[in-house]
Amino acid sequence: MPGNRPPIDERALIVVDMQGDFMPGGALPCVRGNEILDGIQAAMSSGEYGHIVATQDWHPAGHISFASSHGHHQPFEVIELYGEPQTLWPDHCVRATSGAVLDTRLDWSLANIIIRKGSDPRVDSYSAFRDNLGPKGTRPSTGLAGWLDERGVTEVSVCGLAREVCVLWTAEDALKAGFTTRFLWPLTRPVSFDSDAATYQRLEHCGIAIVDTASMDSPDA
Ligand SMILES: [Zn+2]
């Protein structure tokens, strides 16, 4: 219901992890991630958002989320880390490598801020707002909630990669931080479509608006 939305200067768009390693052919590809490029560019250029945030997964080599850092484990196995499940990933988005570069098909000059996450070698970081649970039993903040709040933002819309991982966690943390949260479903792609039902349920359960307008790319699932 567009009538309920705040003025443009209270709206932020968060574009999550649009990086080479998450694209088809990359180290940790999302399914047809390239198909959302045009829609995301259109959203960034639309003038409908007063603030545009980009995130960039930015790991040191040997990061704790990499299966290769755990000897006998394979990518996509789940281990326990600091008392929480941790999926082990293929090496990806190692800082200053080509796979970590923000996709050059998008105009990043439109972004007001780029949040780099996952830089702590000891803890993963899916969300734009907070690291995953770390060794001290806390989820350290990236500072993004304060950045948005001090700019008067009240509504956050999320898009990007991957739907069931970093976009989902970003949306959940946006809501917890007090922002009205919109999940631009057609402008996301998952690592696996098998996760879609669970992702949809989690969003519905916590009260995040799932936006699936006809003006966007056609839904894929
Ligand atoms: Zn990562």
Residue 124 alpha carbon to ligand 1 centre in Å: 7
| Helix, coil or strand: residue 132 | coil
Q: 190 CA to middle of ligand 1, Å? A: 14
State the average pLDDT over residues 18-23: 98
Cα(92)–Cα(78) distance, rounded to whole angstroms? Answer: 17
What per-residue confidence (pLDDT) applies to 54?
98
Model confidence pLDDT, tens digit, residues 180-207? 999 999 999 999 999 999 999 999 999 9
Cα–ligand 1 centroid distance for 26 (angstroms): 13
Residue 115, pLDDT above cutoff 70? yes
Residues 6+ apart with CB under 8 A from 104: none
Task: Grade residue 130 by pLDDT with cuts at 50, 70 and 90.
Answer: very high
* Banded pLDDT at 4 (limits 50, 70, 90): confident
| Chain centre to alpha carbon of residue 71 | 28
CA distances from 90 to 11, 35, 93 (A): 35, 23, 10
108 CA → ligand 1 middle, Å: 20
Centre of ligand 1 to C-alpha 5, Å, is 32
Q: Cα–Cα distance between 40 and 26 in angstroms, integer?
A: 19
Instruction: Categorize the per-residue pLDDT at 218 as very low, low, confident or very high, splitting at 50, 70 and 90.
Output: very low
SS3 50: coil
Taking the centre of ligand 1 as the mean of its atom positions, its distance from the CA of residue 91, in whole angstroms, is 8
Distance of CA 9 from the midpoint of ligand 1 (Å): 31
Does the structure show a pLDDT above 90 at 213?
Answer: no
User: Domains, the chain, ranges and CATH?
Assistant: 9-58+97-211 (3.40.50.850)
Report DSSP letters for 14-45, one per residue.
Answer: EEE--BGGGSTTSSSPPTTGGGGHHHHHHHHH
Question: If DSSP codes are grouped into helix, strand and coil, which group holds residue 178?
Answer: coil
Q: What average pLDDT does range 12-23 have in this prediction?
A: 98
Neighbours of ion ligand 1 (CB under 5 A): 57, 118
Residue 3: per-residue pLDDT = 53
Tokens of 98: 């080509």
> Which positions are annotated as active-site residues?
17, 117, 166
Nearest to 132 by CA among 54, 57, 217: 57
* Helix or strand holding residue 59 (H, E): none
Percent of the chain at pLDDT > 90 equals 93
